[in-house]
Structure 1
Amino acid sequence: MKLYETWFTHIKEDKPFVLYKKPGQTKVKGLFQCDSTLHLVSNFKEKGFVLAPFYEGVRFYIPLDASVQLEADWTKEPLQVESLGGDKSAAALLNYEEQPAKANFEDLVRRCVQAIKQGKFAKVVPSRKEVVPLQVAEVATLFDQLLAAYPEAFCYVIYHPQVGMWMGATPETLIELTGQTLRTMALAGTQVNHGMEEVHWGEKEKEEQQYVTDFIVDQLQPLSSTIDLSPPFTKRAAKVMHICTSIQAELKQDDVQTLVEALHPTPAVCGMPKSVARDFLIREEGYSRKYYAGYLGELNYTSPNEQTTSALFVNLRCMEIEKEQVNVYIGCGVTAESDPTSEFVETVNKSTTMKKILF
């Protein structure tokens, strides 16, 4: 396959690239930069594939006009996540008693709850990094498994020699903008997917998701002429499920920068009020999220009908691939009623999205 041949060449030459597949689609697209320049996004007029951090780090893009664009059909059959994992035991992938991770994260959640009860913010989304000692021998095989396991997610692998390699399968759209028509979603609340037809959501999860919906609507109000919301529904994302509200708006103008700055980071990955929750997390989490909970995707592409389109996704369910280890990033929404142990369990469940692919 020409797409993969070019990919292998770029890996050998240590040049930037991205491969990705949009949710539910069958084509894998590749963008292979012709040199190793680090192109920074400055005014959102740039055209290419962007990767932006949660807070700390460079916001860069792989430019359309300085890259080779290729695509190929994805023809393999989807895999059940449960069929992955090799001989790695379920207990190893789902270690609900791992120390010191459990104690550290539960302490962080307790500090979050205390801050909420003190009135500092209404909701916050703490996270943690899980280090998996592992040398990834075949990135292409790993990406193939990701594509097969998560056909309804936005799947990607991106590399720049000055930034590193990231891979993920995110269920969350930040913006899909065509002309002045915006589509986005309010995604929050989590429980394990046991294949049930009817799903019961508790008040904590409903409240958490409503925070996200209210935030997005509030941010879009001054930018939009109309806003339409779907009723909340259950969105399945591999091993876990979330509550989701689909949102569509007609914007007064197609200003990507204003839109992204208004919505990023959403309460689904940060909290609200946004600036207070973000500053709390930067101070209290004890590590840098880098590109976890940032965003990535197509910036100012041209659609078949000659309209400008941007499709950006929140960088969830992701991992950073280093030489001797893989860093898996996971988080959970915390409100005043949150239980620290339950929140740690939620992060363990979420971590299996990536860890099932690794083993």
Structure 2
Amino acid sequence: MSTQITASTIEQISTRNQALELIRKTLSTTYPVALWRLPNTTDILALIDITSEEGDSDAEIERLEQCFVINSYDQSHPIHPLVLKGDIMISIHGSESEVTLNTTLKASDLESFNLAIDQASLSAVGRSARASERHPDFEEMVTEAINHIKSGELHKVVLSRYQDFDLPESFDPIVYFEKLEKAYPNAFCYLVQTATYGAWMGATPEKLIAIEDEHYFSTDALAGTQVLGEVEDLSDVPWTQKEIIEQAMVSRYIIECFKKIRLREFEEVGPKTVKAGDLVHLKTSFKVDMKETNSPLLGSIMLELLHPTSAVCGSPRGLANDFIHSHEGYERELFAGFLGPVGLGGNSRLFVNLRCMQLFREKARLYAGAGITENSRPEKELQETNNKMQTLLKVIYS
């Protein structure tokens, strides 16, 4: 690929390696970039935003086109997601790729992008690592949460923690992303970098909402976690009362959201056991015909009602969120927020940002949480967070 990037040279990119090299170079600039692969698909998609200054948007997602949105855990009521415009869209299928440009791009935009790419040195992505914030012993925090729940103040609270790990000297985020998306075909795998949030990567199993063909809305209730044992069929996986109750709480929360907007016509399937890497979860799926129910803005309405869901916050949401802020001792940032592509061919898919890590220049900060109920055991909840972190660690050190 020529070092002088113009509309014609970008659109001439036709191989996987050329496309990934453009993304790799962009990661060394200040331009926002998102790379992802949807669950149970093989195509890798990406976009680069070269015209907009980063800022939050209050537009309904149904009115957004060809973009990637990112919303932190605390950005809610109302949500104000960061919107990355698809000025440069990339589709990778096998060894081939296709690049298209936004028709509104100006020659000066491409010239500025060309200069940044030309000067980019392929250094490590991300910011310098922050000092670890002090936060409480996780098992002690879980014990306190259980006591609050037993006293009747809470029904459930989702507590999280993070841990820093040294990255290998040869760590390449593009190579790692390729390993991740092959290892977890059922997850939403992504790599994003913005000035606002830095660099993040993950493989999350939890869909928040989806809109298909501007016609169908869907969302999932995903809760309950255990390591996949030796079973012939996923339907044979045994679940404890604690896990069944935890999943039922998330399902009820979604149904309560439907009731708030007086929506009664929806399909409900589950709960059933689903696989996410070496872990399994309980999932119930909900689907709504937006045209039959005359609800063209259902996606935006449900985002406001759902985020943060009881699967990442707790119930009642206000009390659970207060407990999280007063006990966890750190800002979740994008962990337990949501992100995903919006307005691509009439389809939008947003996922809860779980099984994720923040990339610094020499370290990765991994995040994981566990749903706490009155039947929780602190040592088991700590082990659950360890198991969830293994999703990414296995690929980092493989």
* Higher Cα Rg, which structure: 2
Q: TM-score, normalised by structure 1?
A: 0.86
Structure 1 outlier segments of 4+, above 4 Å: none
Given that 1:16 and 1:35 are in contact with CA atoms closer than 8 Å, whether structure 2 keeps it comes out as no
**1:62 is matched with which residue?**
84
* Matching of residues 141-290 of structure 1 within 5 Å: 141-178=175-212, 179-197=214-232, 198-223=236-261, 224-251=263-290, 252-255=294-297, 256-290=299-333
Select 1:52's aligned residue among 68, 71, 91.
71
Aligned pair in 2 of structure 1 residues 222, 180: CA closer, same or farther (>3 Å)? Answer: farther
**1:79 is matched with which residue?**
none
Count of aligned residue pairs for this structure pair: 328
Unaligned runs of 5+ residues in structure 1 are 76-100
Q: Which amino acid aligns with 1:191?
A: Q
**2:93 is matched with which residue?**
73
**1:97 is matched with which residue?**
none
Given that 2:135 and 2:329 are in contact with CA atoms closer than 8 Å, whether structure 1 keeps it comes out as no
Identity %: 33
Looking at structure 2, the residues matched to 353 and 293 of structure 1 have their Cα atoms a distance apart, in angstroms, of 16
**1:8 is matched with which residue?**
24
Looking at structure 2, the residues matched to 324 and 28 of structure 1 have their Cα atoms a distance apart, in angstroms, of 26
Q: What is the Cα deviation at residue 309 of structure 1?
A: 2.8
Looking at structure 2, the residues matched to 225 and 243 of structure 1 have their Cα atoms a distance apart, in angstroms, of 23
Q: SS in structure 2 opposite 1:230? A: strand
Residue 320 (1) aligns with residue 358 (2)? yes
Looking at structure 2, the residues matched to 349 and 295 of structure 1 have their Cα atoms a distance apart, in angstroms, of 21
Q: What is the Cα deviation at residue 195 of structure 1?
A: 4.0
Q: TM-score, normalised by structure 2?
A: 0.78
Question: Which stretch of structure 1 is more off in the superposition, 28-37 or 198-207?
Answer: 28-37
Q: Which amino acid aligns with 2:281?
A: H
Looking at structure 1, the residues matched to 350 and 135 of structure 2 have their Cα atoms a distance apart, in angstroms, of 32
Q: SS in structure 2 opposite 1:208? A: helix
Q: What is the Cα deviation at residue 283 of structure 1?
A: 1.4
Q: CA RMSD in A?
A: 2.1
Q: Which amino acid aligns with 1:128?
A: R
Select 1:128's aligned residue among 161, 182, 187.
161
